C-alpha cells in the first residue's frame, strides 16, 4: 500500500475515533493488523472467557489464532456441530467476558452498521458480553448509513454467500436481489449509534484491507 494511502487512512481514522468518543465507544488506529492484535492481547486479562462472531477479518488479521493460542478460556463456535449444540453455544456466548467481531461497515460519523442472518452476532454486539472488541480494516469505512447497506449487500454479502453457500440471489448473480430466501443473510440490519455502557465497545481501525 502506498504511503499516501496510509497517510489518508490515518487521518480518516483520527476523525472517526473522535466521532466514536461522542458515541461512548473507544476507537484506536493501527497501521497493521499485527500491531493491533498485539495491543489487544495485552489488554485482555489471562483466563478471560473469549468468543467471537463469524468474520473473515478476525481470521485474516490473526486475531482468531492469537485467541486460540492465548491463555484464555476460549469458547469456539466452530466446535458446535449439531443444531442443539449451536443453540446452547449462542446462549452461552452472551455471557462471555469478551466478544470479538468485525463490523460490516463503519460510517465517517462513527456509526456501526451490521447485517446478520441468525442474529447471534448482532445480539452480542447489542447486549450481553461484558466487552465487545471490533476489528475493522479501513476498507469498511463508508460515508454514511445510507451508503452502508448497499455496500454490504453488494460487496460483502455476495462474497459471504459464496463462502457459505447460502443459495441466495447474491450467490448466483453477485448482486443483492432483496430476497426472502431461507438462507437470507439480511434478516437483521442493525445500526449502533451509541453505547449506553461505559468502556464496553472498542473499535480497532486498521490501515489494511481486511475481510469483505
Nearer to ligand SF4, 170 or 206 (CB): 170
Nearer to ligand SF4, 70 or 183 (CB): 183
Nearer to ligand SF4, 176 or 206 (CB): 176
Q: What residue has cell string 463462502? A: 163
| Minimum CB distance to ligand SF4, residue 114 (Å) | 13
| Minimum CB distance to ligand SF4, residue 119 (Å) | 14
| Minimum CB distance to ligand SF4, residue 189 (Å) | 10
| Minimum CB distance to ligand SF4, residue 115 (Å) | 7
Nearer to ligand SF4, 165 or 196 (CB): 165
Nearer to ligand SF4, 110 or 158 (CB): 158
| Minimum CB distance to ligand SF4, residue 67 (Å) | 28
* 57 Cβ contact partners less than 8 Å away, ≥ 6 residues apart: 63, 102, 135, 136, 137, 210, 211
Nearer to ligand SF4, 141 or 186 (CB): 186
- Interacting residues toward ligand SF4 by CB under 6 A: 153, 157, 161, 168-170, 176-179, 184-186
| Minimum CB distance to ligand SF4, residue 82 (Å) | 24
Q: How far is CA 149 from CA 41, 60, 77, in A?
A: 31, 23, 26
Amino acid at each position: 500500500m502506498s504511503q499516501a494511502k496510509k497517510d489518508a487512512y490515518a487521518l480518516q481514522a483520527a476523525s472517526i475515533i473522535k466521532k466514536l468518543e461522542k458515541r461512548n465507544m473507544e476507537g484506536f488506529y493501527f497501521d497493521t493488523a499485527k500491531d493491533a492484535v498485539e495491543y489487544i492481547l495485552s489488554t485482555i486479562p489471562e483466563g478471560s472467557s473469549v468468543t467471537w462472531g463469524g468474520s473473515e477479518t478476525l481470521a485474516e488479521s490473526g486475531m482468531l489464532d492469537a485467541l486460540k493460542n492465548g491463555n484464555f478460556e476460549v469458547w469456539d463456535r466452530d466446535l458446535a456441530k449439531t443444531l442443539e449444540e449451536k443453540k446452547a453455544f449462542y446462549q452461552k456466548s452472551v455471557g462471555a467476558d469478551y466478544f470479538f467481531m468485525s463490523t460490516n461497515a463503519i460510517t465517517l460519523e462513527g456509526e456501526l452498521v451490521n447485517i446478520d442472518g441468525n442474529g447471534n452476532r448482532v445480539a452480542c454486539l447489542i447486549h450481553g458480553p461484558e466487552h465487545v472488541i471490533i476489528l475493522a480494516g479501513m476498507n469498511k469505512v463508508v460515508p454514511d448509513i445510507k451508503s452502508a447497506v448497499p455496500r454490504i449487500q453488494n460487496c460483502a454479502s455476495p462474497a459471504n454467500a459464496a463462502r457459505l453457500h447460502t443459495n441466495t440471489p447474491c450467490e448466483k448473480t453477485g448482486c443483492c436481489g432483496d430476497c426472502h430466501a431461507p438462507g437470507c443473510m439480511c434478516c437483521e440490519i442493525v445500526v449502533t449509534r451509541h453505547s449506553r455502557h461505559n468502556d464496553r465497545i472498542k473499535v480497532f481501525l486498521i490501515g489494511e484491507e481486511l475481510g469483505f
